[in-house]
Structure formats: C-alpha cells, structure tokens
Structure 1
Amino acid sequence: MANKVKQVWASGKAVVNAWLAIPSGFSAEVIAQCGFDSVTVDMQHGVQDYLSMVQCFQSMHAHPVTPMVRVPWNEPGIIGKVLDGGAYGVICPMVNTPQEAKNLVSYAKYPPKGVRSNGPIRAGMYGSAGTYQQTANDEIVLLPMMETKTAVENMEAILDVEGIDGVYIGPSDLGFSYGLVPKLDRDEPEILKIYEKIIKECGKRGLNPGIHCSGADGAVRAINMGFKLVTLSNEVGLMQTYAKMQVNATREKSGGKA
C-alpha cells in the first residue's frame, strides 16, 4: 500500500492530518471521510489503547487516508507493535538527542536498516504475502517530536539522523520547556524563531517538518511558514468547538427563550 503522506509531500503540497483521542471506530470512520490526508491515533495523551487503535484503523481502511500513530514513548515494543497493527506513520514524543532519533529508526526499520522483529500480523494484509516487508522500510513515515529546549539545542544533529522523514513540533511542550504557558498556536518571537530554523534546516536536508495546530487558522499560518504537515486539533477539540458554537448561537438567537 502506497503511503499517501509521502505522495502528498512528493507533489510539493502540505499534508493535512487528523488526530484521534477517542477510542471509537465510529469516530475514526467519520473523521476518515472528511478529506484529511492522514489520521493519527494518539496513544500518548489520548485515551486510546492498542485494540482501539486497531479498531480505528479497521474503520478508516475503506477511505483514502494514511493511518498513523503517536506512540506513548520511544520504546521498541510498542513501536514494533503499532507497525504490525497497520500504522504507516509513527510520531514519537520527546526525542531529545540524535541517539534517541537513531533508536527510533532502529526500532521501526527491518534489517539491515534496523532491528524490527518480523511479524506484521495485520499490516501484512495491506499487500500480497511477503510484499509488506519489501516496502515497509521505505513507505513508513517516521517523525520524532521536537518539543523541548534540549531537542532544539540538538536540532541539527537530530535532523542529520538517516531514516527520519522530518520532525513533528509539539508547541505546548516546546513552550513549556522555555518557561511559557502551554498552548498550540504560538506567537512568541523566540518560539517563532525556532520554527523558522527548524523549517530552514529541514529544507536543507529534504525533510518534512510537521506541527500540531488548534484549527484552520493556525494550520494555514504554519503552511505559509513552510511546515509540510499540519494537524487540525483533534476530534475532541473539533467536537467541542462546533458544539459550543451551536449552543451559543441557539441561546443568542432565541431571544432569551433558551
């Protein structure tokens, strides 16, 4: 199965990514029909577990989206397991050093590029028998998260690690590590300067920087800055935002009857 994320990047466009915190195949099925290029199951801060991840993947399989996962940590067991379950992209939190980035690559790649164990129990069904292992190393997207002061200090060395496809910015944790309040769409000059450098350094290496946004406005701003993957909040945020808007509109327009 070709990776749509890599196809979008090859076309020169930015990837529009969805984010699933709710452990529901039905929610995943609805989101997968909304026009996103990829859909990421959040196993770090979402309330997803492994089985709910698989259910989300099964529900979105009929739709042209790339299934991805944010794993809870940079650990070989869970990285291999989400890939075996069908993830075609791994976003990994708190990668602070080049060695940790090398570890991520090693855990996610089959030999000789890595140490991933063979057993794609579900992912193997994406092609005919034996073909998955031939293409997985090239098709799977690997995005270590750059979200701490330490990671920024090691930026160029991390980006030099062979096998990653870019980095993914966690704006809340990044700001937090610099003594700022956690939020998504950042406007502090010191953080914007970091973004500019990440985009520049990724560009030098043919890598694709991604970032988590609160919605369309932040995503468009990020794309115009040069980010190549933007996440539009998550399904919880989208549901809350629209629900609040509808409730408020009902109360305002009811003339005090609601």
Structure 2
Amino acid sequence: MLSYGDLKARLVAGQPCFGFWSQLSASMATEILAEAGFDCVMVDLEHGAGSYRDAVAQFQAVKGTACTPLLRVPWNDPVEIKRALDSGAAGVMIPAVSSPEEAAAAVAACKYPPEGLRGAAPGIVRATAFGLQTDDYLATINEKLLVIAQIETLRGVEAIEEIAAVPGVDVLFIGPMDLSADAGLLGQTEHPDVQALIERVETAAVAAGRVLGSIVFPGRSAAQLLARGHRLILGHSDVEFVRNGAVAALADLRKLSSDLR
C-alpha cells in the first residue's frame, strides 16, 4: 500500500527530516539507504540519468520502509509532473520556480480539478495501486501531496515573498549552485552576495510559515541549515556515498602499500 502525507505532516509540524538523492538509478542502492533510516529519497530526473521507469524501481525499492518517495521533475511542465505523480511520488520538486505565476502553475499541475488541472487516469496508474485504492487516493491526494518549489534564480529571490504566498506551495527549497551561477558567481556559494540571496529566501520562507529546505553546501552545514530554519535537508546522494567511500577505501589501501616500502 502506498503511503502519502506522513512526511508532509512531520515537516509542517516543524520536525526536521533528512533525505538523500537517488541519481544512480540503482534500486538496490536506494533500498540500502532507505533501510539505513533516511526519511525520504529524492529521485532526480533533472540531473540524474534515469527514466520514469527507473523512478518506479526506486519507489518499489523503498516500499515497506519508512522512506518517503519524492521526485524532482526535469522542469515545470504539467506533463512531467503528471507522469511523476502517476508513478507514485508522494511529492514533487519543481526546479527554478521564479515567479508567483510559475509557482501557481506548478501547484495546478499537481492538483486534480477543481483545485488544479492534473489529468486523471486513476483506474490504471501505480499511484492508486493500479486502481485498487482509487477512492482514497482521489479523496486525499490534493491535500497530502508535498509540493516543493526550488528557488535558484535571481528572479525567484526577487519574487520570494509573492512565491511564498501562493496557496499549495508547501516547501521552498534553495538551490545554491544554480543561484550562485545566476548571480555570476558559479560555485561560490560562500560569497557574501550569494549568502545574502540565500538569507533573503530563508527569512521570507520562515516569515510566511512555509517549510524551508536545501542541500548541505559550502556556507551551510547541516547544523547551520537547522539553525536557519531548514527542515527538509537533502544532504547527500547515492553518488556521494559510493564515490567518497571508494576514494577513502582506496586511499587507505594506497597508504598501506606505501608503508611497505
């Protein structure tokens, strides 16, 4: 049985939740991390190499665990959002939301009529357990779905107060790397100008009562994110775990070999 709403309820209540990014499209890696106890997985179809079929495999991998399946769509496109939701995502992240109109369009794409314009095929999609849970899904999903707007452009920062006021936007999630790029300071997330942009988003989100989130990045450790009011923290990815583990293990082996000389 698919589970919706628990992660959203915890976030709205102010509880910190910690997730990871699935970018390898490797369902067994996702399963390992879910079993380790992460609160959610963000399947990344913006920068990850996977397909919606791969995303379903990730969702199946976490079924039966306490890890909530989320998905970042490639763009603010109602067709992409519809496919993500029909696949069984309990929440979607929309990249580069830069105006209240874009935020409202994202929300509309997530909601069934009359609240939105999401296309309906509840009798056949995975989100309803292929029609076995249609009535409950249709009655509750508009309320339970987690809608995450990424703020990662200068336009988005300038309009942050208006975006935060759009009904149905549950989480404002800062994208520090793209924000630094749009500010002409690619990768310089610790630069005072980039930090000022980030702080404006943080202040506006908290003032509006929206859930605030981000990744861990230079300029914001996990402890700093929590102190600034962030509650959805996607600190690591499966790529990082594999890469960093491999680099550390090989460094230890190289050191042992060096010590023999």
TM-score normalised by the chain length of structure 2? 0.91
In structure 2, the residue matched to 1:89 is 91
Q: Secondary structure at the match of 2:248?
A: helix
In structure 2, the residue matched to 1:142 is 147
Residue type of the alignment partner of 1:172: M
1:154 aligns with 2:159: yes
1:15 aligns with 2:17: yes
User: How far, CA to CA, are the matches of 2:260 and 2:85 in structure 1?
Assistant: 53
Q: CA deviation at 1:71?
A: 0.2
Write the mapping of 1:27-176 to structure 2, written as runs, cut at 5 A.
27-120=29-122, 121-125=125-129, 128-176=133-181
Answer whether contact 2:176 2:217 (CA < 8 A) is retained.
no
Q: Deviations over 1:103-161 (max 9, x none)?
A: 00000001111011112411112973410011101111111110011111111111111
Residue type of the alignment partner of 1:233: H
Residue type of the alignment partner of 2:248: M
Q: CA deviation at 1:221?
A: 2.1
Q: Which runs of 5+ in 2 are unaligned?
A: none
Q: Secondary structure at the match of 1:144?
A: strand
Q: CA deviation at 1:214?
A: 5.0
User: How far, CA to CA, are the matches of 2:12 and 2:105 in structure 1?
Assistant: 26
Q: Deviations over 1:188-217 (max 9, x none)?
A: 2222222222222112221011112259x8
Q: Specify whether residues 257 and 119 from structure 1 end up closer, same or farther in structure 2 by C-alpha distance, changes over 3 A only.
A: farther
Answer whether contact 1:3 1:66 (CA < 8 A) is retained.
no
Residue type of the alignment partner of 2:227: N
User: How far, CA to CA, are the matches of 1:129 and 1:178 in structure 2?
Assistant: 45
Residue type of the alignment partner of 2:141: A
Residue type of the alignment partner of 2:76: N
Answer whether contact 1:21 1:41 (CA < 8 A) is retained.
yes
Q: Specify whether residues 257 and 139 from structure 1 end up closer, same or farther in structure 2 by C-alpha distance, changes over 3 A only.
A: farther
* From 208, 222, 225, the counterpart of 2:225: 222
Residue type of the alignment partner of 2:176: P
Residue type of the alignment partner of 2:20: A
Q: Secondary structure at the match of 2:213?
A: strand
* From 195, 202, 205, the counterpart of 2:205: 202
Residue type of the alignment partner of 1:109: K
Answer whether contact 2:71 2:84 (CA < 8 A) is retained.
yes
User: How far, CA to CA, are the matches of 2:36 and 2:210 in structure 1?
Assistant: 27
Greater alpha carbon shift after TM alignment, 142-151 vs 22-31: 22-31
Answer whether contact 2:4 2:90 (CA < 8 A) is retained.
no
Write the mapping of 1:171-182 to structure 2, written as runs, cut at 5 A.
171-182=176-187
TM-score normalised by the chain length of structure 1? 0.92
Answer whether contact 1:41 1:70 (CA < 8 A) is retained.
yes
The total of aligned residue pairs comes to 255
Q: Which runs of 5+ in 1 are unaligned?
A: none
Greater alpha carbon shift after TM alignment, 101-110 vs 23-32: 23-32
Q: Specify whether residues 4 and 249 from structure 1 end up closer, same or farther in structure 2 by C-alpha distance, changes over 3 A only.
A: farther
Q: CA deviation at 1:92?
A: 0.6
Q: CA deviation at 1:11?
A: 4.1
Q: Specify whether residues 107 and 10 from structure 1 end up closer, same or farther in structure 2 by C-alpha distance, changes over 3 A only.
A: closer
Answer whether contact 1:4 1:65 (CA < 8 A) is retained.
no
User: How far, CA to CA, are the matches of 2:182 and 2:198 in structure 1?
Assistant: 15
User: How far, CA to CA, are the matches of 2:109 and 2:71 in structure 1?
Assistant: 15
